[in-house]
Each structure stands twice: as structure tokens, then as C-alpha cells.
Amino acid sequence: MSRRTDAPNATPQELFARLVEIIALLRSPNGCPWDREQTHESIKPYLLEEAYETLEAIDARSPRQLCEELGDLLIQVTLHAQMSSEADEFDICDVLATVNEKLIRRHPHVFGDVQVSGSEEVVRHWEAIKQAESRGGASPPARSILDDIPANLPALMLADKIQKRWAQVGFDWQDAAPAIEKLREEIREVESARETHDPTRIAQEVGDMLFAAVNVARLLGVDAEDALRMTINRVKARFAKIEEFARAHGKSLHEMTLEEMDAVWNAAK
């Protein structure tokens, strides 16, 4: 699928150079007042928003939507690089050179003579190289195998990454059965905490239950973040049936009984 209408025969290099020029112009004195006012901090929410909209396009399996959202995400990368260029910190060429070098360095089985048996060994090599980079780079050595996991990831994704990192050093169950039993134990502890009416303890036990649920999902080969999003999409569609029923019968949702809602909900399943 091609959507090019401007310079249809342009190369990727030419098109990317044009994007860099456009962003630089928007930030210039003759550019856009809004763009000139922005900082790394002020546009942080947009970076996150564009990343999530890209995920939504992937879930929608829409090539046209994904093409557009990847472009919006690329704007954010280029804009951050332009801001740093203006501060004489680094520019987009430094970003590209750094990522090219990193990809080559972390794929010695492609760009070097290292032999691997499959994707699992690739991941082990990748993590070992990251650790070596941390020890030999300008940043201080990692004190924990979890240090390089971004703390502001969505909680389910963060839990999954922590558990996978533990698994790499053997701190893991071999299959899902004991993890499922642990989840049952955590549910019982939530029930016990509920009887105390202690909000802090209840929150802690609910957190433990969710962490255990992520562990079950991981050991079953399921991405907890994706699974929950799929469920959310399903329940939104089911609730839409309740809204349709209410409109068809001239009612507001507040006028429907729980029994009526349940009947439509179960039928929608």
C-alpha cells in the first residue's frame, strides 16, 4: 500500500531529511508559536499518547491507520531531537548513529561470527551485551538486574518484565500450575483483608493478586497487557448492547434494572 502523493519517487533518506527540515522550521522564529514554546517535559504526554495510538492501530489491524500513527510517533522523536540540537546536546544524526551502532553491537549473530540456536539464545545474548555496556559505559554499573527496566511502564507490562528478568536467573516456576495455586492464595488473602476494612492492607493484597495473575499469564504464554486490553474491548462491545437495548425501549440506563442489564449482557456473550 502506498499513500505517497508528495514526491512519490523520493527515497527514504530524502523523505526523512524533509521531515527534519519541517520540524526545524516549525521550531524556528518564523515557525509555529506553539511548537517554539514546547520543551521535552511539555510534550511528554504526547509521546505517550502517540505510542498508545500506535498500539491501537496495530490491534485494529488497519495498515492505513498504522501508517499514520507511526508517522505521528516519528514526529515526536524528531521533535525531541530538534530540541536537543538547539541546546547543543545532540541532533537527529547522533540519534540515528547511536541506534545503528547499538543494533549492530547487539546482533553479533548477524553482524559478527556468533552462532545462536534460536530466538531464546538471542535474548540471552542481548541481555548479556546490555549488562556489559552498563559496566563499561559512562553510566554507573547496574546494582540490580531490574535497574534498566523503566519504572513508568504500564503496571501490567512492568510486572511482566520484572518476572521475565527474574526467570533469566532461575527465579521462576517451571510451569503455570504452582503460579495458579499462588493466585488462588492471593485471592484468599484479598478476601481476608476485606474483612479488616483496612484500605492500605486491601490495596496491598489486591496488588499481590494482580502481580500473581500476571505471573500466571506469562507462564501460559499470554501477554497480560494485551489480554486485558482484548477483554476491555469485548466488554465495551457487550455494554454497547445494553445501551442499544435501552435506546430501543425508550429507556435511560438509570431506568434499567440490574436484572435487565444482566440478561442483555449474557445474551451478548
> Rounded to whole angstroms, what are the CA distances from 235 to 223, 239, 251, 263?
18, 6, 21, 14
Confidence of residue 142 (pLDDT cuts 50, 70, 90): low
Q: Are 72 and 50 in contact (CB under 8 A)?
A: yes
| 12-105 classified as CATH 3.40.50.300 | no
| Domain covering 144-222 in this structure, CATH number | 1.10.287.1080
| pLDDT, tens only, 233-243 | 999 999 999 99
By percentage, how much of the chain surpasses pLDDT 70? 94
What is residue 209's predicted lDDT score, i.e. its pLDDT? Answer: 97
What is residue 4's predicted lDDT score, i.e. its pLDDT? Answer: 61
Q: Are 78 and 20 in contact (CB under 8 A)?
A: yes
The Cα 49–Cα 56 span in angstroms is 11
| pLDDT, tens only, 197-252 | 999 999 999 999 999 999 999 999 999 988 998 999 999 999 999 999 999 999 99
